[in-house]
Amino acid sequence: MKIKVLFVCLGNICRSPAAQGVMQRLINERGLAHRFEIDSAGTYSGHRGQLPDPRMRHHASRRGYNLNHRARPISSDDFDLFDIIVAMDESNRRNLIRLAASPQQESKIVMMGDYIVKLRAHYDYVPDPYYEGAEGFELVLDLLEDACGNLLDEIITKYKL
Question: Where do contacts with ligand 4NP occur on this chain (CB under 6 A)?
Answer: 9-15, 46, 128, 130
11 or 21: CB nearest ligand 4NP: 11
24 or 52: CB nearest ligand 4NP: 52
CB of 140 to ligand 4NP, least distance (A): 8
- Distance between alpha carbon 86 and the CA centroid of its chain, in Å? 6
Distance CA 71, CA 37 (A): 17
120 among known catalytic residues? no
CB of 126 to ligand 4NP, least distance (A): 8
Distance CA 74, CA 55 (A): 23
- The answer to whether 3 and 35 have CB atoms below 8 angstroms apart is yes
19 or 26: CB nearest ligand 4NP: 19
Marked catalytic residue, from 14, 15, 39, 148: 15
128 among known catalytic residues? yes
Dihedral angle computed from the Cα positions of residues 147, 5, 155 and 105, in that order, rounded to the nearest 10 degrees = 110
CB of 50 to ligand 4NP, least distance (A): 10
Contacts of 55 (CB under 8 A, 6+ apart): 14, 129, 134, 137
- The answer to whether 20 and 152 have CB atoms below 8 angstroms apart is no
Marked catalytic residue, from 78, 89, 128, 142: 128
15 among known catalytic residues? yes
* Closest-approach residue to ligand 4NP (CB): 11
CB of 78 to ligand 4NP, least distance (A): 16
- The answer to whether 27 and 103 have CB atoms below 8 angstroms apart is no
Distance CA 101, CA 110 (A): 16
3 or 129: CB nearest ligand 4NP: 129
**Which residues are catalytic, by number?**
9, 15, 128
